Amino acid sequence: MHAPRQGVAGADVVSPRSSGRTRLITIRGLDKTFGGSTIYKDFSLDLPQGRFISIFGPNGCGKSTLINMISGLAPMDAGEVLYDGQTIQETRISYVFQNYREALFPWLRAIDNIHYPLKVMGVPAAERRARVDNLLAEFEVKIDLNAYPYTLSGGQQQTVSILRALVTSPEVLFLDEPFSALDYEMTLFMREQLQKIFMKTRTTMLLVSHDLEEAIQLADKVLLLTRRPTRVAEIVDVDLAWPRTAAVTTSERFTGLKRHCLDVFWRQVKGE
Ligand SMILES: Nc1ncnc2c1ncn2[C@@H]1O[C@H](COP(=O)(O)OP(=O)(O)O)[C@@H](O)[C@H]1O
Ligand SMILES: [Mg+2]
């Protein structure tokens, strides 16, 4: 976890709900066009840190573009993004890509993929081993980490990707449709895994999902986006207790939330 900042008790990181002050991600005046097509125009938004936020919206509305810009992977045309007042460069950010097959280094064993970000940061080998051991102990990983990625299943590879993203103790973790290439059973399992990670670390999570059920099941808040030029259609609070098992998705409360999100979504798709 990051060192406590002025006015922020260390406990805030573990339990943001107990904080007297909400740490925010502030997005201000964001503009983005691609070849004359406006994706974002003067887009502003506050999001709470220490929460799990899902992003859902019409295909091509700019979900990936949004998280790529606010994670610093892609340039904005204009605008500012601050994490509790700090710039993107001053914030520890990690990113889990949709396509785990291209995201892991095939020439490195799983364990060396996990070590890699620390190596790039210049962390000495002994400390690196200690940090990776701690991480693996915390999440009871049951994967042969001496294996090369291609010998692992899709779910195992994506687990390795997530561990690699977590090894730097990020303040914010971005995930762009991380489970969309997995089969349904593995997807359900990975949703459970990700929840465990969130409940343990309370790392701010920003998850793009094209699966509304997944978006709701995992989130404190679902950010619903409009068609382009993209605005916030609604931010829906999901006040369900953690952990959310697969069974919760059939509860009355859940289906009510899903119906509401779908209504907003269809109004956007039809342009009403
Ligand atoms: N690098 C790029 N160059 C040109 N157009 C792009 C680029 N990235 C995304 N786009 C376009 O911007 C729009 C939003 O893309 P994207 O953020 O990937 O949508 P989503 O993730 O919501 O499906 C799409 O029309 C896409 O074709
Ligand atoms: Mg996308």
Question: Is any ligand 1 atom within 6 A of the Cβ of residue 225?
Answer: no
User: Taking the chain (272 residues) in consecutive chunks of 10 residues, what is each chunk's mean pLDDT?
Assistant: 36 45 94 97 97 96 97 97 97 91 92 97 96 87 92 92 94 95 87 92 96 97 96 96 94 97 91 74
Backbone dihedral region for residue 6 (phi beyond 0: left; psi -120 to 50: alpha; all else: beta): beta
Question: Is any ligand 1 atom within 6 A of the Cβ of residue 70?
Answer: no
Q: How many residues does the chain have?
A: 272
* pLDDT confidence of residue 138: 81
Atom 1 of ligand 1, residue of closest alpha carbon:
34
Two structure tokens written together for 61: 């509305």
For residue 79, the CA-to-ligand 2 centroid distance in Å is 21
* pLDDT confidence of residue 141: 81
Query: Dihedrals φ, ψ of 173, to 5°?
Result: -120, 120
* pLDDT confidence of residue 6: 35
Question: Is any ligand 1 atom within 6 A of the Cβ of residue 63?
Answer: yes
Architecture per CATH, domain 22-91+172-181+209-272, reads as: 3-Layer(aba) Sandwich (3.40)
Residue type, 132: V
Tokens 């220490």 map to which residue? 50
Would you list the domain boundaries of the chain?
22-91+172-181+209-272
* pLDDT confidence of residue 62: 97
